[in-house]
Amino acid sequence: MLDSIFLVMLALGLLFRSVSLVFFVTPLFILFFAWETKAVEEPELVKRLGEDYVRYRSRTPMFIPRWRARSGGKRD
What is the widest separation between alpha-carbon atoms in the chain? 51
Residue 64 CA to its chain's centroid (Å):
8
- Contact at 8 Å (CB) between 1 and 25? no
What tens digit of pLDDT does each residue of 2-40 get? 678 888 888 888 999 998 888 888 888 888 888 988 899
Cα-based angle 34, 36, 39 (whole degrees, multiple of 5)? 105
pTM: 0.61
